[in-house]
Chain A
Amino acid sequence: MTRRYLLTAGVLAMACATAVHAQQQKGTVRTAAPINQSDLPARLRPEAKIIKGYVPPKTAWGDPQIAGAYTNSDESGIPFERPAQFDAKRLEDITPEQLAAMVRERQTQTVERTPTLSEFPGATSPLHWFENYRAANSRAWLVTDPPDGHVPPATDEANARNAARARARSAHGPADGPEDRSMYDRCITRGIPGSMMPAIYGNSYQILQGPSYVVIKYEMVNETRIIPLGPVPHLNGKIRRYLGDARGHFEGNTLVVETTNFTDKTAYRGSSEHLTLVEHFTPLGPNTVEWSVTFDDPHTWAKPWTFAMNLTKVPDEQGPFEYACHEGNYGLHNILTAARAEEAEIRAAAAKGIVKAPSAQDPDEGEK
């Protein structure tokens, strides 16, 4: 098995090297160092077998067993909404063969794009950073409801609210102070469902179960969500939290988690603090749980909508590693000192009568 991975890594690395070489030939790439085979050690892929009508084992107290360490690195790069090429198709119309071909194509494209994976053309981060490299996607797109695979249009209220947010935001530079950076840059939170959306690394989760609680640990930014089970009322509506207030119960073998009491600081795709988020964690096989997320927020969308992806069980030692994000967050410091340095350059240029534009950057980088 290891040999197969090494072989795959070798083929992949050669393809990457070819792609980089081709780019360099064109003279379009500024690169500090070429990418080579040794940049990508093998990563064991978990087995994700789906069994129709799968019934998970029960815990000692009779709940369906879903505890374990999971990853969704392999769901990286799936288009959120239905791509135009599948107009009039539903997710279930895509055959396993079509999906397999699609995944092969996406993986090939990833290899071809390797030189542009970073913000610096040709200067990608080392390949061993990419836990999601050549992801083996489980589906063609993420939005499962409405069946057309598209998020319903935003309401007028949401458009007005988000335009006001953008206006307020544009009154500041991208890095005038720490508060101008995203909650992610600042190591505060990626919110819910943001904390479970696959990124280049940190896509590890640990689900723990007890008789009256489920706990989900999210590696990236080190979040822990404690979910009481059963008929426990939500917190008073005046109490708002970044991760909201979650309550869970089992419906058959599926864990259903309803979360309310969000803040307006962790909006997902423009959602409001009135969002009710309903997640379903459904075991599909011994190593696979489908995670589906329904957004019910009449202040943002005219009707509820849902996306879904799979979580795959991994050995416990591959589970979350403590991501004490604040301990060495020099990144935030460097971003702020970089902005001050740029301002000084602009002032110095202006003194010589030269107009120098600030560099383009997106302060909400990490939210994507």
Chain B
Amino acid sequence: MKQTLLTLIAVVMLLAGGVRVAAHHSFAAEFDDTKPVKVTGTITKVEWQNPHIWFFIDVKNPDGSVTNWAFSGGAPGQLMRRGITRETLKIGSEVVVEGFRAKDASNNGFGQKVTYPDGRNVFTAAPPSQQ
């Protein structure tokens, strides 16, 4: 059964050849596409490291408690070549993160889109000196 499943996956992947672009890790194995998340919080920590950067934000819950969420981003090298540096994510900045939650139901997620509260994309907005 398992082998049939693997074969089926292989066939589907062959058919999809060149269509889907694989990142380093299988996101489908890590994150749950049925659990989109959208949270607003303050950046508390940034790990600008390989293979993916991670950043942490404190999110205030309706009951007043605070949950620290962690989100993954791109690889430092690919971000650097787009002119995106670790200075982009400033500790204390308020950001809105939209993405998908980890399958293990921890407060980890894939940070698909990161914006400032005014809607500007954090990773691609002009640096503060050029605004």
Contact = CB atoms under 8 A, between A and B. Distances in A.
Interface of A: 30, 32-33, 36, 38-41, 43, 76-77, 79-80, 113, 116-121, 123-126, 128-132, 166-167, 169-170, 173-175, 184-185, 187, 199-202, 204, 219-220, 318, 320-325, 327-332, 334-335, 337-342, 359-362, 365-366, 368
Contact of B105 (A39, A128, A327, A341): A341
* Contact-residue size bin, chain B (C-beta under 8 Å from the other chain): 35 or more
Contact of A185 (B25, B102, B123): B25
Contacts of B18: 77, 79
Given A334-B108, A362-B6, A366-B26, A128 B74 contact: yes
A324 B75 CA distance: 10
B61 interface: no
A324 B29 contact: no
Contact of A169 (B6, B31, B54): B6
- In this complex, the member of B17, B24, B25 whose beta carbon has the largest number of chain A beta carbons within 10 angstroms is B24
B51 interface: yes
Given A32-B99, A120-B100, A166-B6, A41 B82 contact: yes
A202 B10 contact: no
B12 to A, nearest CB: 8
Contacts of A77: 18
A118 B50 contact: no
Contacts of B52: 328, 330-331
Contacts of B5: 360
A125 to B, nearest CB: 6
A363 B89 CA distance: 32
